[in-house]
Amino acid sequence: EGPPPPASVPGAIEGESLRVLTKTGDATPQDMRNWTDSSWSGGAQLWWTGGKPGDQLTLALPVPADGTYEIFAVLTRAIDYGTVRFLIDGKPLNPREFDCFGSKVTATPELSLGKASLTSGDHRLTITITGAHKDAVKAYMAGLDYLRLQKIP
């Protein structure tokens, strides 16, 4: 019996609730309430393990209505987490690589993954492992707390 899960962030699409379309390795919900240096929306994350550089995890991203959106994410940092890049429907959201290395298990601030023009319905959000920080334990894991879509007027 742990504490009750923290509230979800308003507008969050919880990582642990996303439908996995394709994966290398394993992607499962992980209870994050035992790590006390951060708090995760809904108290859990989608935990991707067993991948290596070049591997991909593709998730169904539900989009409520046609429009242009900025896509935000909160990721998890840990000593054995890798660097990742994001694609939407097979196209890079931006060229940026996100380094998920950290000396402690913590959640990142909300990060902008980029902007995309999307139709309503499910889209394919792909996370690609690109490598790892030089000081990281090379297990190339990744954790997704949540995604948030912000419509651009």
pLDDT digits 0-9 by tens, 19-52: 999 999 999 999 999 998 999 999 999 999 999 9
φ, ψ dihedrals at 41, nearest 5°: -55, 125
| Residue 133 CA, distance from chain mean position | 18
- Comparing CA positions, the residue from 66, 83, 4, 72 lying closest to residue 39 is 4
| Average pLDDT across the chain, whole number | 95
Task: For residue range 81-109, list pLDDT tens digits in order.
Answer: 999 999 999 999 988 999 999 999 999 99
Give the single-character DSSP code of 48: E
The helix/strand/coil state of 57 is strand
Interatomic CA distance for residues 120 and 18, integer angstroms = 16
Task: For residue range 111-137, list pLDDT tens digits in order.
Answer: 999 999 999 999 999 999 999 999 999
Interatomic CA distance for residues 103 and 35, integer angstroms = 13
> What is the per-residue pLDDT for 2?
58
Record the pTM: 0.94
> What is the per-residue pLDDT for 94?
85
